[in-house]
Amino acid sequence: MDDHRPVDGWQFLDDAGTFELNQPHRTSYLYFPLVNEAGLMSVITPTLHGDSKTDQNHFLTAPVSVEDLHNSRAARNFWVQVEGKGAWSATGNSAAQIAQRFTENDEPVHLRAGFLWHTLTREAPLLGLRAEITNFVPPGDDQVELMKVTLTNITDHALTITPVAAIPVYGRSADSLRDHRHVTSLLHRISLDAYGVLVCPTLSFDERGHNINTVTYAALGAEEDGAAPQDFCPLVEEFIGEGGSLDWPEFVVRPTTIGHTAPHAWAGYEAIGALRFKTIQLRPGQSKAYVIVMAVIREGETVDHLVKTYGSQARFEDWFKRNGDHWQAQLATLKFSTADPQHNRWLKWVAVQPILRRLYGNSFLPYHDYGRGGRGWRDLWQDCLALLLMEPDRVGNLLLANFAGVRIDGSNATIIGSQPGQFSADRNNIPRIWMDHGAWPFLTTRLYIDQSGDLKFLLKEQTYFKDQHIDRARGTDGEWQLAQGTRLRTSSGAIYSGTLLEHILVQHLTPFFNA
């Protein structure tokens, strides 16, 4: 197969949903989701652009919408300095490689992906190197994205190489992408660990106010045997050098540039996880692997835990298998069988969409950048409709939790959190109501009861949502304060609960009598 042929579409390789595409970087606006239940949401492109975050206020890498995928120079990158031949980007993100993309010198690139992992293979025939890069977000409790880069000498002579991973670390709210971008960089406290670069801002400075920050953003790395990198360059301005850029950085292009070692700390700079590994000689046909761990580290979690859990090739492979098993188990409940095997394999990817919808919400994919995070009211119930097929054991508890968003006047919360039953007061203080919102809980609950036979479900009790909006958004409660919480209380201060049937009746009778 000619790797330099024009892109002519992807094809499936097996019934597990694995597919491939040649020259994927020639397909504009292409991206792939990587996510886990712990809350890390990543996006990756054939040039490893994209972002990684846990919510609107915690972005490990800079937020992207779809146009940023080709406009930005900030991407996951892995550089190789080849002695006597110069610098090469294993992700295709050097200035020279970008310039060659529409010429006969464009490098052969191959994409292979599955549930939910993403592997790119790129060759540099003139340098004699092949790079295979695999990314995934492992199942479990850690908010991490893993990346393994395997370099192979495809020449008949030895190559002397110096690898440098380069992960720009944004480390703040999406609000600061323009508004207070520089001010929030002044809050950065950057330090070195033996395995990488850590960024822990002093404050979380966003629409919620100025709050003490307890989250650390990390770019860590290890050689295949678990050995730590040689040195680091954690500051963007030092990494690119005067007159340089992320697609032609001085730290890589001039290999004599001095790096830093732990312990070392800086305050008030834009950060990058630039990890330089020791110079090695690759014999013909020999390969060498490196593992990169990109993490959002919550209070109480440690770098040591991440390194011990993920920081070697063997650990990476173990988690890669666990990841594949996890997603195949998630999708095993729904199978399609038609006369067209390729169509069956495509439908397997359709089946994962409701799960991705639940995890990403409206706001965290480049083409789906509506709002500031999470899902809307309709989404809660429409997602449950799909999950009745995909994850039936979870639906009853999700439905029960969702009813906590109903107000006693029949309207409902409009700011939905990431956890089941988590609703917030309207931060924009904009009164609004939709005529169809009451219908979705009824329709979804009816289908659940029809399928499960659990008629007693209607008699379960749930609280009601309370914030400043009353009288179906025509008035405000001047006595309500956020400190009181967002659950409806009686005049004596007790939290009030009603049956789910009561919630449904309230949602239908109030709009009827307000028509």
Tens of pLDDT, residue by residue over 420-430, are 778 877 766 66
Mean pLDDT for the stretch of residues 478-485: 83
Distance, CA of 371 to CA of 363 (rounded, Å): 6
- Residue 285 above 80 pLDDT? yes
Contacts of residue 136, Cβ cutoff 8 Å, sequence gap at least 6: 34, 116, 117, 118, 145, 146, 319, 320, 323
Q: What's residue 3's pLDDT?
A: 42
Does an H or E element contain 96, and which? helix 95-99
Mean pLDDT, range 164-191, rounded to an integer: 92
4 has a pLDDT exceeding 50: no
**What is the per-residue pLDDT for 257?**
84
163: pLDDT confidence band, cut at 50, 70 and 90? very high
Tell me: pLDDT of 99 over 60.
Answer: yes
User: What per-residue confidence (pLDDT) applies to 440?
Assistant: 94
Distance CA 139, CA 319 (A): 8
CB atoms within 10 A of CB 236: 19
Cβ–Cβ < 8 Å for 359, 37: yes
**Average pLDDT of the chain to the nearest whole number:** 91
pLDDT given for residue 428 in this prediction: 62
pLDDT band of residue 181 (cuts 50, 70, 90) is confident
Residue 32 and residue 76: Cα distance in Å, rounded? 14
Least confident of 126-135, 154-163, 435-444: 435-444
- Among candidates 7, 26, 20, 169, which has minimal Cα distance to 97? 26
Identify the weakest region by mean pLDDT among 21-35, 54-68, 365-379.
365-379
Report d(CA 223, CA 246) in Å as an integer: 23
